[in-house]
């Protein structure tokens, strides 16, 4: 999927993002963090020990809201 020009502008700026992943029981887990991008790929600033990383390894569905 290609990112819109506006999405790229938000990601490239000094904006925070809320990233929602799914826990094993299906409940949401939401965290605020910095995001970056490599072309049209959104890159999350996280470590392997974070819950969101564990969730994404199990289930790659994610929702991202970026605040200007």
User: What digits encode the pLDDT tens for the residues 6-62?
Assistant: 999 999 988 789 999 999 999 999 999 888 999 999 998 888 899 999 999 999 999
Give the C-alpha separation, 33 to 30, whole Å. Answer: 10
pLDDT, residue 1, reads 81
Containing structural domain, residue 14: 5-67
List beta partners, residue 29: 21
pLDDT, residue 48, reads 87
pLDDT, residue 68, reads 78
**What is the CATH number for 30?**
2.30.110.10
What's the whole-model pTM score?
0.81
Give, as one character, the DSSP assignment of residue 38.
Answer: E
pLDDT, residue 16, reads 84
Contacts of 57 (CB under 8 A, 6+ apart): none
pLDDT, residue 29, reads 96
Task: Please state the domain count of the chain.
Answer: 1
Give the C-alpha separation, 65 to 67, whole Å. Answer: 7
């Amino acid at each position: 999927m290609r990112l819109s020009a506006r999405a790229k502008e938000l990601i490239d700026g000094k904006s925070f993002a809320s990233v929602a992943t799914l826990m094993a029981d299906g409940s949401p887990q939401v965290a605020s963090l910095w995001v970056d991008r490599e072309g049209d790929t959104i890159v999350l600033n996280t470590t392997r020990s974070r819950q969101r990383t564990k969730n994404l390894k199990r289930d790659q569905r994610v929702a991202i809201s970026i605040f200007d």
